């Protein structure tokens, strides 16, 4: 039972580079797959960083330019874990070179970039996927199954928010290694593309397409020192973003993201209310799912807190025993496993680039509405 | 220490009539006050209902027309607990007759009605108050004190929602005794005036005025049988209502109310995020307050769940001993106590009619925005 | 529909005097009953206290000696809310005078006293009841119904604890008005008779009789000033008490009570585990019941948090609307209602004196085991 | 910076074999250590199982007898993850061969075995450690630090329980691969050595030594089919075990473990109450710590739910970013890291065999008390 190799070339040696590397390293021990990922090379601009990262994670080699990765014949898949402003160029070049392409989210900095990326991978007919990892939280995957099974009936409401508090201090810089997410040129947008994009990806997956939105954004700290230039510069990202949405299925929704919600580190919460049942989940206790079933006997109806650690819960038979929780990093392992299974089955793992483009249409509409003060239609 | 009498004339013998009667009956045992409420008379259109209610609650007499209450010399305060479409006429007549006036919320069916009510009580210089009872949940009152003490610092976010699920079935009628809240003619609006009004009242109290809103409303069940006419008629209220708001202090907010959130009976939740601290509360566990203090030592920062049952918590020294919770009805008792103390001190209990008018300006703007599809300024 | 009168003579004007008075005052508004309690007289040793209490709560008269209450012909029921050392003498005298008798818990200071009390009321054939009020928390009553319906199947485990923290400071005195619970002469025992007695009463009601126990007690603060004598005296009560129990049905149990559990004010928690289902409840959120049903579909099993505020929940149709919680004091109102309904139906409300004696047999065995260091059989 | 090698020989290819292998594989990516574990060989009785396990986890080789592992010169540390009845023999042989020894918990099947194991490793002066992994849950480690810092003051109470429900069905067999924990000959005892041992290890670490215990055990299902013999045999393990304890520091404790608590999968809960503060934690939400500080301002005292995911929380700087939780498996990675750091520093990681022996003295006393019906002193 010799496995085939899936030779990975990773771009980026930051936080997401770590989560992806870990996923590729671990997936083979926990999932029976036809392909074994091989950490072939990592590329990042600083050669020393590339080398250190490669040694730490067991990459066979490293490069100081992502273009060298794409040129290499011994690499099957280019995995993009570098800042947002690099996604489009790398993905397009990789696709044109016939590589499979994985990209961190959001796909591009805006839908225009993303459309080019979709066109490139589809023209090249290469497998492609975007790392909207929260789809692979077992509780979230179970929620999707319940919705698809029709357990909720007609949907009335969807609500999601993603709350953080790490940029409240005006001393946090913008730009540079750890804080490029505050630099609009690099990130494309602020919390809209960073945090709301996660909320939207799940929402579209759960509840279908969004027709229109009305939005508000805010930048609470107007100027920050730029970590690269060293100068105090205007902050051009959105610190907070909220919108109301009408889904195509007639349901009404609220969305919000911010980095100014004191007390919340990475609190992504979602809830969906249907005629027969409701589901809620949050990232701070990701191993639990809240479920209310109106079909339960009247006196005994209540929100159930389901500890998603049983063998019959999505992905969980690959892990430990009931009661023992997994964490954040496992979502990436699951997604890596699904990508590989997609290669075997011919059923691509989602979200593909095309799927992820839909999220960008929503974020574009959100930002447009925040500017226009009007409801904006979402492209489709 | 003979107490003075406060002779109460109650209009309405429904749910709110019960909560008010209970408040007047109990307040004297738990609070030391200069005035003892006396349940002088209750008025409701059906004489038998009035009589039954009077006997049950210990009213000395009853009437089948509120006008008779106003004519009576032995009544000091007219307390309006009848449906929304009656508030304005009764309040204005009562004020003109020189009675003190208490009204259930919302004040009028819209700000135009409410302005007339304000004008009437201010012209007559009579004490007046609106029963936005949730201000008197001890946890909510404590939150207000913390905000006023500057504990939170600059405010970035406010979010509130009020979720119910009792009208999901299309078999629920509109109009009539138990369901007049679904009849736009009687109620003025749907959840906007019913549930959002509570959220807005607290929000204005906590966080100052709202400058502008963008809103969406929805009516999920388009037709319902009218309980009075017996005919199937178009539903004209809003089943759900959501809006984004910009407060005058620069903070960004989301609000939502619905009667279609399966699994939630009366889940009013609120959260306010400031630079230094955050506060959250919900009505389903009203005796708890959630508080996060960034000033806590780093490793030990966490949301505190404060069991608001100690003698030094607002209103609680009047009740039992630490650990023993009070419930919903107590908020009315507290408000009755505060009204009476306001008579003694000359500092009127809030919200006065004028205070409550501000909530109507917001709900009017919400409904206007839902119609116009634009941001609407809130009058002030 | 003129109601009959139930003329109440209350002994004691402390905390429990307040809860009982409130119950008698309110029960008629919320429950349809054949008898209307009338607050005829209150007795307490200090005449001024008696008078103040009577005025506050609306008693028609007052006495400075409980014996005078018993002599009065216009009193039907003697309700004992005075310290534990008075229960037996008053109850026996009342029964001998042909009065109905209600007593605060525990019945006597020990089973020997309680047996005399039982003998007295049974000889006199007078209605009698002990105020183990937590049976009438709607969530607790519902739990009892579920158990009686066989929903849990064979029972394996029971666990209960009652945690407080109000006596940690060595400055808290013993004896006197507010702290007689620390005076062994008055209280009989410490937390065993005070807090554990509640846990045991519920446990016997839910799970049948206890065969044997092994226990440990501890007195953490060895000496305290006596509030009456003013002298520093040895503390003779148990500050903490824990025991293991074997129920007659074969289940194994743990019980614990203390006034030294920092952070807990009145945290009575209970849990019962059966073959098919489990139930948990705690007093700090008394309006919720936790229920786990193994019969639920596999993937969706979870603990339900049931918000016990619906009209089909025990007692709740008498109160407000779904979602609106009641509190501590309502348990006494429910018990008063049940007592009165028992008078009408001839089915006495529980726990009767005889029922409550069983709790005393357990607490006696607990204290005996703590002294002997052996398992002790529980009398029955 | 070439790392030294730590050549690992693993005995056992079951659940614990997996957690240990995973720990050795991952520790090097997340912790900067002087030694890199090398998965040299795995041994288990079934050669095919050994081979499969080795291939899956990347062991360089495999053996069908643990004795062969010990004979190999290329192995530095013998890690015992096989059933309890093998621990002593393997550990003693490994120590005598000069290998470092790690053992799954409990150390031996009873203290007599464990004493021999301690003697062997101490005579051989080889590094040794027992995998009481829950000490390395970051929340638990933080609790230990808070206690050691004196934050709690004088300790009054300790309580712990470990609740499971997986053996309620009488169809679960005893003995064999997945169910050897029900076979007294293999396991030594039932929940006492399996689950209570975890509770006791943490308790001794947090709160010092236990002087005496009184205990009860129960076997609810008296006979089960033996998976090896195929015969119905008497069950000789304890299905449930509970005890009261007196700690040397004067605090009073309750402990309980069972596999018959419907609704709980692996609910290890602990709480410690001190004069100034209290701490609680449970395994079902292992990434949270509950902390109550009486030093907090009066009105704002409450239990804090601390999300243990910050860089300044124990171990967490090695993982992701604030808000993103880790899970069960990480506790083993932390323990592997600490073992290796102990090799470098000369400060052995705890619990050593000697430390773990103290837990066995307690479990022996618990089982003895359950038999004798008396309080039993704990050896020390």
- Pair of tokens at residue C281: 């409840």
* C residues 196-215 lying closer than 8 A (beta carbon) to B: none
Give D313's contacts (C-beta < 8 A, 6+ positions apart): B299, D138, D139, D142
Mutation pick from A156, A190, A277, A278 vs chain B, by most beta carbons of B within 10 Å, is A156
Q: Tell me if C324 and B321 make a contact (CB, 8 A cut-off).
A: no
- Residue D16 confidence (pLDDT) above 60: yes
- Residue C2 confidence (pLDDT) above 90: no
Give A372's contacts (C-beta < 8 A, 6+ positions apart): none
| pLDDT tens string C260-298 | 999 999 999 999 999 999 999 999 999 999 999 999 999
Judging contacts by C-beta atoms under 8 Å, the chain B residues touching residue D296 are: 304
- pLDDT < 50 regions, chain B: none
Q: Tell me if C26 and B26 make a contact (CB, 8 A cut-off).
A: yes
Give yes or no for B302 touching D (CB within 8 A). Answer: yes
Q: Before C106, cis peptide (omega within 30)?
A: yes
- CB burial of residue B327 (10 Å; 0-12, 13-18, 19+): buried
How many beta-carbon pairs under 8 angstroms link A with C? 48
β-pairing verdict for B77-80 and B4-11: parallel
- Residue D310 confidence (pLDDT) above 90: yes
Residue A226 Cα distances to A13, A67, A178, A236, angstroms: 21, 27, 12, 12
| pLDDT tens string A112-162 | 999 999 999 999 999 999 999 999 999 999 999 999 999 999 999 999 999
Residue B178 has a pLDDT of: 81
Give yes or no for B58 touching C (CB within 8 A). Answer: yes
Mutation pick from C304, C312, C315 vs chain A, by most beta carbons of A within 10 Å, is C304
| pLDDT tens string C57-71 | 999 999 999 999 999
Give yes or no for B252 touching C (CB within 8 A). Answer: no
| pLDDT tens string A210-265 | 999 999 999 999 999 999 999 999 999 999 999 999 999 999 999 999 999 999 99
What average pLDDT score do residues A27-31 get? 97
Helix and strand tally (H, E) in chain C? 11, 17
Judging contacts by C-beta atoms under 8 Å, the chain D residues touching residue C246 are: 216
- Residue A351 confidence (pLDDT) above 70: yes
Residue A165 Cα distances to A241, A263, B13, D195, D367, angstroms: 14, 7, 48, 39, 51
| pLDDT tens string C344-373 | 999 999 999 999 999 999 999 999 999 999
Out of C291, C302, C307, whose CB is closest to A306?
Answer: C302
The CA-based angle C128-C131-C136, given to 5 degrees, is 115
Residue A80 has a pLDDT of: 98
Residue D176 has a pLDDT of: 86
How many beta-carbon pairs under 8 angstroms link A with B? 118
Q: Tell me if A329 and D310 make a contact (CB, 8 A cut-off).
A: no
| pLDDT tens string C25-36 | 999 999 999 999
- Residue D375 confidence (pLDDT) above 60: yes
- Residue A176 confidence (pLDDT) above 90: no
| Range B176-179 contact pairs with CB under 8 angstroms and sequence separation of 24 or more | B176/B226, B176/B227, B176/B228, B177/B14, B177/B227, B178/B227, B179/B227
Give yes or no for B330 touching C (CB within 8 A). Answer: yes
Residue B1 has a pLDDT of: 55
User: What is the SS3 string spanning chain B?
Assistant: CCCEEEEEEEECCCHHHHHHHHHHHHHHHHCCCCEEEEEEEEECCCHHHHHHHHHHHCCCEEECCHHHHHHCCCCCEEEECCCHHHHHHHHHHHHHCCCEEEECCCCCCCHHHHHHHHHHHHHHCCCEEECCHHHHCHHHHHHHHHHHCCCCCCEEEEEEEEECCCCCCCCCCECCCCCHHHCHHHHCCCHHHHHHHHHHHHHHHHHCCEEEEEEEEECCCCEEEECCCCCEEECCCCCEEEEEEEECCCCEEEEEEECCCCCCCCEEEEEEEECCEEEEEEHHHCCEEEEEECCCCHHHCCEEEEECCCCCCCCHHHCCCCCCCCCCCHHHHHHHHHHHHHHHHCCCCCCCHHHHHHHHHHHHHHHHHHHHCECEECCC
Q: Which helix (H) or strand (E) holds D305?
A: strand D303-307
Q: Tell me if B15 and C307 make a contact (CB, 8 A cut-off).
A: no
| pLDDT tens string A4-26 | 999 999 999 999 999 999 999 99
Give yes or no for D58 touching C (CB within 8 A). Answer: no
- Other C-beta atoms closer than 10 Å to the C-beta of B259 total 26
The overall average pLDDT reported for chain C is 97
Tell me which chain C residue has its CA closest to the CA of residue B325: C327
* B residues 65-124 lying closer than 8 A (beta carbon) to D: none
**Would you say D366 and D192 are in contact if contact means Cβ atoms under 8 Å apart?**
yes
- Residue D1 confidence (pLDDT) above 60: no
Q: Kindly report the backbone phi and psi dihedral angles of residue B338, in degrees, each rounded to the nearest multiple of 5, phi listed first.
A: -65, -35
Give the distance from residue B35's alpha carbon to the nearest chain C alpha carbon, in angstroms.
Answer: 13
How many beta-carbon pairs under 8 angstroms link A with D? 94
| pLDDT tens string C133-173 | 999 999 999 999 999 999 999 999 999 999 999 999 999 99
Q: Kindly report the backbone phi and psi dihedral angles of residue C247, in degrees, each rounded to the nearest multiple of 5, phi listed first.
A: -80, 160
Give yes or no for D306 touching A (CB within 8 A). Answer: no
Residue C116 has a pLDDT of: 98
Q: Tell me if D303 and B300 make a contact (CB, 8 A cut-off).
A: no
Q: How many residues does chain A have?
A: 380
Q: Tell me if C275 and D262 make a contact (CB, 8 A cut-off).
A: yes
Confidence of residue C1 (pLDDT cuts 50, 70, 90): low
Confidence of residue A1 (pLDDT cuts 50, 70, 90): low
Judging contacts by C-beta atoms under 8 Å, the chain B residues touching residue A264 are: 278
The overall average pLDDT reported for chain D is 97
| pLDDT tens string D28-41 | 999 999 999 999 99
Tell me which chain A residue has its CA closest to the CA of residue D14: A320
Judging contacts by C-beta atoms under 8 Å, the chain C residues touching residue A139 are: none
Judging contacts by C-beta atoms under 8 Å, the chain A residues touching residue D13 are: none
Residue D2 has a pLDDT of: 76
**Would you say A45 and A51 are in contact if contact means Cβ atoms under 8 Å apart?**
no
Give yes or no for A164 touching D (CB within 8 A). Answer: yes
Tell me which chain C residue has its CA closest to the CA of residue D292: C263
State the chains in contact with A (3 or more Cβ–Cβ pairs under 8 Å).
B, C, D
Residue B279 has a pLDDT of: 98
Confidence of residue C308 (pLDDT cuts 50, 70, 90): very high
Give the distance from residue B126's alpha carbon to the nearest chain C alpha carbon, in angstroms.
Answer: 29
What average pLDDT score do residues D59-77 get? 97
Q: Tell me if C328 and B328 make a contact (CB, 8 A cut-off).
A: no
| pLDDT tens string A253-299 | 999 999 999 999 999 999 999 999 999 999 999 999 999 999 999 99
Mutation pick from A38, A52, A56, A325 vs chain D, by most beta carbons of D within 10 Å, is A325
Q: Interface pTM (ipTM) of the complex? A: 0.97
Residue C231 has a pLDDT of: 96
Q: How far apart are CA C215 and CA C369, in angstroms?
A: 5
State the chains in contact with D (3 or more Cβ–Cβ pairs under 8 Å).
A, B, C
Q: Tell me if D262 and C246 make a contact (CB, 8 A cut-off).
A: no
Tell me which chain A residue has its CA closest to the CA of residue D16: A320
Q: How far apart are CA A191 and CA A181, in angstroms?
A: 8
């Amino acid at each position: 039972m010799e496995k085939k190799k899936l030779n990975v070339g990773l771009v980026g040696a930051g936080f997401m580079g770590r989560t992806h590397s870990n996923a590729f390293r671990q997936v083979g021990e926990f999932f029976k797959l036809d392909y074994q990922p091989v950490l072939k090379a990592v590329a990042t601009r600083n050669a020393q960083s590339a080398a250190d990262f490669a040694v730490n994670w067991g990459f066979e080699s490293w490069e100081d330019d992502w273009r060298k990765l794409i040129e290499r014949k011994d690499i099957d898949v280019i995995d993009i874990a570098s800042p947002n402003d690099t996604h489009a160029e790398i993905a397009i070049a990789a696709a044109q070179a016939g590589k499979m392409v994985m990209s961190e989210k959001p796909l591009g900095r805006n839908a225009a970039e993303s459309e080019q990326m979709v066109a490139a991978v589809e023209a090249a007919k290469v497998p492609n996927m975007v790392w909207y990892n929260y789809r692979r939280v077992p509780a979230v995957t179970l929620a999707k199954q319940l919705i698809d099974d029709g357990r909720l009936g007609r949907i009335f409401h969807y609500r999601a928010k993603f709350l953080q508090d790490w940029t409240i201090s005006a001393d946090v810089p913008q730009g540079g290694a750890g804080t490029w997410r505050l630099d609009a040129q690099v990130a494309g947008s602020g919390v809209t593309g960073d945090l709301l994009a996660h909320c939207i990806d799940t929402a579209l997956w759960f509840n279908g397409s969004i027709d229109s939105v009305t939005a508000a954004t805010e930048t609470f700290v107007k100027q920050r020192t730029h970590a690269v230039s060293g100068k105090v510069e205007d902050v051009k990202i959105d610190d907070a973003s909220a919108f109301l949405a009408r889904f195509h299925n007639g349901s009404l929704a609220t969305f919000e993201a911010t980095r100014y919600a004191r007390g919340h580190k990475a609190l992504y919460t979602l809830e969906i209310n249907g005629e027969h049942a409701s589901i809620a989940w949050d990232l701070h206790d990701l191993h639990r799912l809240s479920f209310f079933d109106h079909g339960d006997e009247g006196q005994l109806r209540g929100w159930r807190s389901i500890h998603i650690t049983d063998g019959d819960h999505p992905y969980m038979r690959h892990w430990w025993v009931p009661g023992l929780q997994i964490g954040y990093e496992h979502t990436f392992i699951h997604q890596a496993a699904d990508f590989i299974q997609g290669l075997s089955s011919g059923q691509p793992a989602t979200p593909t680039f095309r799927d992820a483009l839909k999220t960008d249409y929503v974020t574009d509409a959100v930002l447009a509405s925040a500017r226009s003060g009007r409801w904006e239609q979402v492209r489709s």
